[in-house]
Each structure stands twice: as structure tokens, then as C-alpha cells.
Amino acid sequence: MKTGSWTVGVDVGGTFTDLCAVDQQTGQVALHKVSSTPANPAAAIIAGLEGLAAKIGIDLADVSAVAHGTTVATNALIQRRGARVAMVTTRNFRDLVEIGRQIRPRMYDLKADFPMPLAPRELRFEVDERVGPAGEVITPLDMASVDAVIDRLRAEEVEAVAIAFLFAYLNPAHERAVKARIAAALPGVAISTSSEVQPEFREYERSSTTLLNAYLQPTFSTYMTTLKDEVAARSPGATLGVNQSNGGLMSVDTARDFPIRTALSGPAAGAMGAIHTARASGLSSIITFDVGGTSADVALIRDLQVKLSFDRDVAGFPVRMPMVDINTVGAGGGSIAWQDRDGLLKVGPASAGAQPGPACYGRGGTDPTVTDANVVLGRLSTRGLLGGTMSLDTDASFRVVGGMATQLGLSVEQVARGILEIMSANMVRAIRAISVERGHDPRDFVLMPFGGAGPLHAEGCARALGITQILIPLLPGILCAQGLLVSDRSESFVRSKRIAARDENAGALAEMVSAMQAEADDWWARENIAPADRKVQLAADMRYASQNYELQITLDALPGIATLKQMFFAAHAQAYGFFNPDDPVDVVALRLTAIGTRPALEAPAQSGTATAAPQPRSHRPVWFYGAAPITAPVYDRADFAAGTTLSGPAVIDQFDATLLLFPGDTARVDDALNILIQRGNLDL
């Protein structure tokens, strides 16, 4: 074994930390799971790396790269476990992050309100300065007012400071000067400036994003430093990358300075893994469907590209950052079934979580969950999960689902099927939101379920949406970790300025692109990315002059103005069903993403027991759609070789997931060892 042949992807979830390792020389794939350690996520990562090395018989010095997806930032925001943070703003703008845009978080709930800013009013300070809408200095920076603020920051013993000045994205000089002054006076305080975090227009969102970043910096910095040191001690030659919300990897040092970039780190890795899987199977348009214990994440991928969203809420706070466009719904294996005041059956969004978990986990759970419903219907293996290492208490599932069945006057199987139907309906709504509501017909796509519970629920969602094909990845339960192995390194640059799309402004747009290209060249040099591995992606945010929100237009290169407008018209027609070629059009931002590509993964090696004619390991009764259970063969997916073809009904077990093949369905294992299901009985 040559040193440096293994790469490892590590995805930290709320319950498990998943590891997926690939030998770049042989294509060997190794999987490992350990319990997450929320108090210190680095502990689970290191334990997982050591356990993985022991499992496959290598030294950790053989690891050349570790890629990490994390939920630490998101969880810290949800649980409010960040730093004592203050905010410094332009005079008379201290209440901006509290006033916001005066819109209701839930349209029909008159009592619902946004969460209070992480910096309370007494920790929001103002200085005398003002930059105008053209980047001109209207009021020079008054350092005496800055020094007065520093005295207050010292007295309040703050741990972090967010600096967000008016129009700083056009002229960051004042923010830089204040940052330097505070850093010199308070060297132990973390500082974030809006011109570094996200230099874009929309003052409220930019200020909110900067405040969130500062709030996370101290905790995340400790975490990243610990992880970097621990990995370096065991794998001194390995590079360590952290996944961003846009699907690319960044260095540990960048993650330490900009933790808000990791807000959707895990789901973004899943999208990258899905693109890799689709490409290997010769598909280009898929709808991903990632079902975990608490939630389901869905994304639409067309032509092997996933859209980015720039305005999202994270834990109730607005964030303006490039993030993979993912829709999340509270529907997972741990979602609890309950009855409302009218006696109607509901599922979620409350979840049993990891503790106590579903009743079948044997950890004291007393509520019926989606996982318990699958156990009742025979869809989950009676020998347990994770290759049988995690046993299931089937009697507990029948007991909790049976209690609800008694209340409803139905059989236990009817209630279990009802739970799963409602679960599917919840997930279908999320899929419609990123497809039908955006002008895409889901019937033109292949459904790709993953996550530990995704393959169990794919049929119900595909049936409701009219989707005829389902692609099950080779490693559905660990696809997020695998996605980290194929994610490229990337860095995003932006120039935000409202410019009319007219011929006389073509030069100004070209200058903006040239400036970002120079920044990309510097980043490639700092990251030691070889010229052959360098790529760029360009995009323009455009809108009609009378509109308030823009559409992002993906570009191969900056075209002429006439071509640029035609591309905008086509995007507007797809999004809204019309366009007006005579209305004036504005470019409000140009974006350039610098990419450092990573070596392609080799095709996975087949297991030694794989054959094109596998035999079932057992049989068991399973409830599908009929009035009675069907005795279905149970296969081990490790026995499947490329070219294997099966007809439903069947159950396919593997280490990280369970797949159902319904009556009338046919499944074929392709050359990438992914399973493509052609649905039958489409009228069910």
C-alpha cells in the first residue's frame, strides 16, 4: 500500500458520524459509522478515523485527504450556543437588524415573530461615518467615536464583534479601519466585517449574515483548530477541507474565519454526491430526496447542475450566502405520528430524535414514529439495522402503533400504512416546491432517494408525482460522506452594483469580471492548485428595472449585452411564464466561482460474493399496497453484480439502508453498481 492512497469523507450528523473512504489506487470503498459527540464533534471524527483505519487495516498516515461536512454552525444557531456578540454600525442604523423588512415569518400567523437579534440592543453600537450609494464618502470616519465604542466593548466583555456599515460593499475602507482599531485594542475578540463576509447589496441581509458569522466565530474557531491539529497528528500528509453550503470545499483557515458558510454543509455534500452518482449512471436530470431521522432535504438537479440560492433562513435568521438550493421539510424516520383535536392522524414535524428515538430502538421511546410503521409492515429487517449490529424491538413498534390503532378503530397495519402515506404527502409537497412551483415537470426527472430512510419511501413519492424511474445509489445512507470525496475546492467572489444592461456599460461589466479573475488567480496560488485543475464559473444576477428580486443567469463567459438580455428573457419566461423584450433590464451583481478540481473517483470494486444471479438470503411477509402481506424475498445488496435484474416484490438490505421493490417494479444494477428501478403498476 503506497502512502497517501486513501481519501476520507466525514459527515457529522445529529445521531451518527458517517465515514466513507476510497482507495484511489484500487477503487476499494470502506464505510464506518460512529455515534456523534455533540459536545465535541471533533472527538467523533477522530474516533471514526481510528476505527476506520483499524477496520480496513491501514495506518492513518496512508490518508491523503480528509473532507468534512458539519452541522456545528447550524446547531449552534438553533440552540443559541454562540458567543457574546456585539454589533457596530453606521450612526442611526443600530436597529436595522431588528426592524428587518417588517414582513411576517408566517403569512397567516399574526402572532408569529422573527427571533430577536443575537446582539441585543444594548450591544449594538454606532459610529460616525457614512458612505453613499456610489461608494463616495459622505461623512468621514470619526475615530473618536470608534474609541468610545471600544471602551464599551471592553466593559461589556464581548467575545465577538460584527461590523456592518452602509454601502460598505462598494467602499470597505471604513470597515477595514474599524476592524484594525478594534483588533489592536481587543486582541482576543473575533471580528467579522460585512465587506469580507458577503459584499453585496441588501443592507439587512448583509448585516444579519455578518452578525451570525461573528456569533459563530469563537466556538467554530476552537473546533476547527482542534480538528486540524488532531488530523495532522495522525495523518501529517493529509489535506483537510471543510464543505461549504455551495457544495465546494474550503480550507480550515477559511472555515475558521467564515463559519456561516457551513450552514448547509451536510445537505450540500449530499447534492454533490447525487451529481456524481447520476453522472456515473448516465443520467443528467434528477430530483434528490435525502431522508434522515428528523427531516427530508430535496433538491432539483438539471443537466448535472444544482441551482444556488442566495437568500435563506437558517434557524429563523436571514442569511445571504451562496447555498445549494435545497428545500427541507420536517419528515424523517423519527417523525412522530399524533392526532390533532379533531382526531385526525398527523405525522411530524416533531421527532423522537436520537434519544429516545423510535420505540423499536429500545431506548424508551413511547410515541409511534415512521420507523415503527415500517417495522410493523415488515419493511425493515427484523435482524436490525447497520448490518444487524443495531437490533430492533419489533414488539415495541406493534405496541405503540397498536395503541393509536385502538384509538382510531383501525387495524395496526392500516394505521402504519396511513402514517407512511402522510409521510409521503409531506415530502411530496417539498418536492413540488422545487419543481412544479418553479416551472419544472417532475415527470421529466429521475427520483434519487438517499439517506438512511430515503429508499424506503421513494415509491410513495414517485407514485404521487408520476415519476417512472428511481435511482438508488450504491451507498444511499452514506452519500453525503461520499459526496465530500467528489466535492471540488472552491471560492466565490462577487461584485454587486446596479448597472443598466446597455451597450455603453459593457466595459464596466468586463472590468468587474477582470477584478474577480485577479482575485481567483491569487486564491489558486495560495491554495497551491495546479493550472490544470483550475476552472471558473460565471453568473449574472439580473432583473427588470422595475423588479425587486433578481434571477441568476449562468454564463460560460461574459457575452455581449444583446446575448445577455436574451438569456435573461429565457430565464424569466421559465420562472414566470412571460417576458417583455422592451422593458429595461439591470445587472445587479456578477459572480465568479474559482474551482480547484479533484481527481475523479475510480469505479467501485464489486464484493467477492457478487453475482448477476443472486439468491435471496431469506423470505418474510411485507405489506405493500394490497389488502394482505406478500411473502417477499430478502436480498443482500453486496451479492449484486453489474447486470443483475430483479422483479418485485423484493426487499434489498445493505449496511446503510433498506430498499423496497414493489410488485410490478423491475430493478437493474448498472455498471456503476447503482440500482435503476422502472416502476410498474403506475396507476396505484
**191 phi and psi angles, rounded to 5 deg:** -130, 130
For 102-139, b/e burial (b = at least 16 CB within 10 A) is eeeeeeeeeeeebeebbbeeebbbbbebbbeeeeeeee
Task: Please give the average per-residue pLDDT across 606-624, as a whole number.
Answer: 84
User: pLDDT class for 342, splitting at 50, 70, 90?
Assistant: confident
The pLDDT tens digits for 155-186 are 999 999 999 999 999 999 999 999 999 999 99
User: pLDDT class for 2, splitting at 50, 70, 90?
Assistant: very low
Q: Which residues contact 369 (CB under 8 A, 6 or more apart)?
A: 333, 334, 335, 336, 337, 351, 352, 358, 359, 400
Residue 281: the pLDDT is: 93
How many angstroms from the chain centroid is the CA of residue 181? 36
The pLDDT tens digits for 303-324 are 988 888 888 887 788 888 888 8
250 vs 674: CA distance, rounded Å: 29
SS3 of the chain: helix, strand, coil, percent, to 5: 35, 25, 35
Residue 622: the pLDDT is: 92
Residue 326: the pLDDT is: 85
Instruction: Give the least confident one: 35-44, 415-424, 623-632.
Output: 35-44
User: pLDDT class for 462, splitting at 50, 70, 90?
Assistant: very high
312, amino acid identity: R
85 vs 71: CA distance, rounded Å: 21
Residue 305: the pLDDT is: 86
The pLDDT tens digits for 350-398 are 777 666 778 888 878 888 999 899 999 999 876 655 555 567 888 888 9
145 has a pLDDT exceeding 90: yes
The pLDDT tens digits for 217-253 are 998 888 899 999 999 999 888 888 999 988 889 989 8
244 vs 69: CA distance, rounded Å: 8
Quote the cell numbers at residue 128.
460616525
CB 287 within 8 Å of CB 274: no
- Among 77, 81, 71, 85, smallest CA distance to 262 is for 71
Residue 122: the pLDDT is: 95
Q: Which residues contact 80 (CB under 8 A, 6 or more apart)?
A: 118
DSSP per residue over 63-77, as a string? EEEEEEE--HHHHHH
602 or 168: which leads in pLDDT: 168
Counted residue by residue, the chain has a size of: 684
Task: Please give the average per-residue pLDDT across 66-95, as a whole number.
Answer: 88
Task: Please give the average per-residue pLDDT across 8-21, as a whole number.
Answer: 82
Highest mean pLDDT among 113-122, 171-180, 325-334, 389-398: 171-180
172 or 452: which leads in pLDDT: 172
257 vs 183: CA distance, rounded Å: 14
Residue 1: the pLDDT is: 37
Residue 383: the pLDDT is: 65
Task: Please give the average per-residue pLDDT across 106-111, as a whole number.
Answer: 76
CB 101 within 8 Å of CB 320: no
Coil, strand or helix at 431: helix
- Among 154, 181, 37, smallest CA distance to 84 is for 154
Residue 385: the pLDDT is: 59
DSSP per residue over 362-412, as a string? TSS--S-BHHHHHHHTT-S-TT-BTTTTB---HHHHHHHHHHHHHHHTS-H
How many angstroms from the chain centroid is the CA of residue 547? 29
Quote the cell numbers at residue 315.
434557524
Task: Please give the average per-residue pLDDT across 56-75, as a whole number.
Answer: 85
Residue 130: the pLDDT is: 96
The pLDDT tens digits for 539-565 are 999 999 989 889 999 999 999 999 999
612 has a pLDDT exceeding 90: no
**Residue 647, beta-bridge partner list:** 666
Residue 288: the pLDDT is: 93
Cis, bond preceding 356 (omega within 30 deg of 0): yes
Mean pLDDT estimate for the chain: 88
CB 80 within 8 Å of CB 216: no
DSSP 611: B
What is the edge-to-edge ordering of all strands in the sheet holding 190-193?
124-127, 85-90, 160-164, 190-193
Residue 452: the pLDDT is: 80
CB 426 within 8 Å of CB 347: yes
Instruction: Give the least confident one: 114-118, 129-133, 160-164, 276-280.
Output: 114-118
The pLDDT tens digits for 503-519 are 999 999 999 999 999 99
Residue 15: the pLDDT is: 66
Domains and CATH numbers, the chain: 6-76+221-262 (3.30.420.40), 81-216 (3.40.1360), 269-332+423-485 (3.30.420.40), 335-422 (no CATH), 488-596 (3.30.1490), 618-678 (no CATH)
Residue 74, phi-psi category: left (phi > 0), alpha (psi -120 to 50), beta (remainder)? alpha
CB 474 within 8 Å of CB 604: yes
661 vs 283: CA distance, rounded Å: 21
Coil, strand or helix at 90: strand
- Compute CA distances 103 → 92, 106, 116, 151, 433, whole Å: 21, 9, 14, 35, 21
